[in-house]
Amino acid sequence: MTTRTVTIASSDGLHARPAAEFVRAVEATGLPVTIAKPGGEPVDADSILMVMTLGAQYGDVVALSAEGEGADAALDSLVELLSRDLDAPTA
């Protein structure tokens, strides 16, 4: 199992739109990925409902875990995604 930690950079946390973008990215990996807050139970990261129920806010640290071929690269890309402010306006 490969694990990474990342600090949520979205100014409003993982609410609907950033959570949906994250879930789409997880699904694109084709790997089973979980996300968890410290001390909490990991949840399936390909479920928008489960991701939103984490209540991850700006500045919270979460742990991502994945298994399978390409897990390192997949988690690196997911960490990069969550390290950006997904609420920032795009040009």
What residues act catalytically? 15
Number of domains in the chain: 1
Domain with 74 in it: 2-82
Query: Which pTM does this prediction carry?
Result: 0.94
H-helix segments, the chain: 16-29, 48-53, 71-82
Look at residue 69 and tell me if it is in a domain: yes
Look at residue 9 and tell me if it is in a domain: yes
Look at residue 24 and tell me if it is in a domain: yes
pLDDT in the model for residue 91: 54
Look at residue 47 and tell me if it is in a domain: yes
pLDDT, tens digit, 9 for 90 and up, residues 46-65: 999 999 999 999 999 999 99
Residue of 88 and 4 predicted with greater confidence: 4
Work out the average pLDDT over 9-24.
Answer: 95
Look at residue 61 and tell me if it is in a domain: yes
Spatial distance between the Cα atoms of 79 and 81, rounded to a whole number of angstroms: 5
